[in-house]
Amino acid sequence: MYWNAFAIALQEIARNRTRAFLTVLGIFIAVAAIVTMVTLGEGATLAVKAQIASLGSNLLTLRPGAGFGNRASSAGVPSFTEEDAATLGEQVSGIALVAPVGTVSLGTIHQHNARVSTVVGTTPDYFGINRWKLAEGRFLNAADQRDGGAVCVIGETVRRELFGDADPVGSRIRIGRASCEVVGLLAAKGQAGMGDQDDTLILPLSALQRRLVGRTSRHDINQISISARDGTDSLALIAEITRILRVRRHLRPDQDNDFNLFDTRQIAETLGATTQLMTLLLGAVAGVSLVVGGIGIMNIMLVSVAERTREIGIRLAIGATAREVLLQFLVEAVTLSCIGGLIGIFLTLGLCVGLARVIQVPFHFNAGINLLAFLFSAGVGVAFGFAPARRAARLNPIDALRHE
């Protein structure tokens, strides 16, 4: 009897290719909508999270001037000194690493390639604070800093623009009026929503001061980078840093701060909340897709009810039992739903791998959502393929035959 039902079901599917195709298509579309949405959405969420992680969650940046970024008004405000950085490192217990940073825009040349780069002069702790990793060569060290050696470490973007395919480590490049040996290449970080982090060229602060800029003042540090110790209360840390800097910069109590503190933890928290919202939104969209897909499947199934009711009447009249007819319909519905669901999942995952590459988010396979989409669509397909059959099979054969 079971084998029979299977044979009849397959025969029915073959007999009604259009109906079978539409059923499979309905289920395919429902599954595809959900899987695409969730797979790409989760990929994007992961990308944002990875970028947050690459920023470092306990990084503080001090800059002179009242606002931050474009709104900074540093005109007439003195920069920091190396001593400011050193004092903070000594006096604030919550600080793990601190690095004074001087920056200057200079032309850089290697053979035929030239470009203007932002040149960073700093101390070796800078690499740790910003979580740089090496692709090749070495970081700058204390000896470089002490000697003011003409050595530098470059980021991926600088390497690409100045060296093309050539190996940079060991080569010399011209920076402004000095010649400088490249000793290290930084591993790429990628875009982090804050400009190209890989467009960087780093040399010892002492080298920057002695070889590249004519030093006119001790106030030549336009940024101090700080990493906090794990578990430090960031508000307390900011308060303490602010207090010490106000004293060192001789601000009266009635004067506003003439420097600002940028805390990546705040950014991370904001972005984290955004990501959470995005995940919620995706869940809602996926839910709507499920319902829409379900209604589509339902429609296709219900359109053929009249024809199928008559078919059931004929089968009953020639001696089929209700159970045999139902089994046939169940096998049919399950077969079509599974075909639609499986094609949906595999085609869509293939599509997602490609799309993820195009829109540059990582491909993330979520077994749970695939299973859910499959079970739901197949469930709707089976339920709506089966329910009308169940009603018809309960009728007297003559009533099923008379069905309009």
288 scored as a contact of other proteins (CB under 8 A): no
Measured CA to CA, the distance from residue 298 to residue 383 in angstroms comes to 9
310 contacts other proteins (rule: CB under 8 A):
yes
* Nearest to other proteins of 334, 401 (CB atom): 401
Stretch binding other proteins (CB under 8 A), from 61-69, 108-116, 296-304, 320-328 = 320-328
Any idea how long the chain is?
404
Q: How many Cβ atoms from other residues are within 10 Å of residue 253's Cβ?
A: 5
Q: What is the distance between the alpha carbons of residues 57 and 43, in angstroms, rounded to a whole number?
A: 21
Confirm or reject binding of residue 255 to other proteins (CB under 8 A).
no
Size of the site for other proteins (CB under 8 A): 26
CB 203 within 8 A of CB 120: yes
Is residue 13 a contact residue for other proteins (CB under 8 A)?
Answer: no
Q: Which of 110, 159, 211, 315 binds other proteins (CB under 8 A)?
A: 315
- Nearest approach, Cβ of 382 to other proteins (angstroms)? 23
Name which position in 54, 276, 321, 360 contacts other proteins (CB under 8 A): 321
Q: Is 311 in the site for other proteins (CB under 8 A)?
A: yes
Nearest-approach distance from CB 307 to other proteins, in angstroms: 8
Task: Output the smallest distance, CB 30 to other proteins, in A.
Answer: 27
Query: Any contact of residue 42 with other proteins (CB under 8 A)?
Result: no
Binding of other proteins by 397 (CB under 8 A): yes
Q: Which of 273, 291, 303, 398 binds other proteins (CB under 8 A)?
A: 398
Residue from 6, 10, 16, 210 touching other proteins (CB under 8 A): that is: 16
- The span from the CA of 145 to the CA of 343, in Å, is 61
CB of 332 to other proteins, least distance (A): 14
Using the rule CB under 8 A, is 319 a contact of other proteins? yes
As measured in angstroms, the least distance from the Cβ of 312 to other proteins is 11
Site for other proteins contains 323 (CB under 8 A): yes
Site for other proteins contains 305 (CB under 8 A): no
Q: List contacts with other proteins (CB under 8 A).
A: 4, 7-8, 11, 15-16, 307, 310-311, 313-324, 396-399, 401
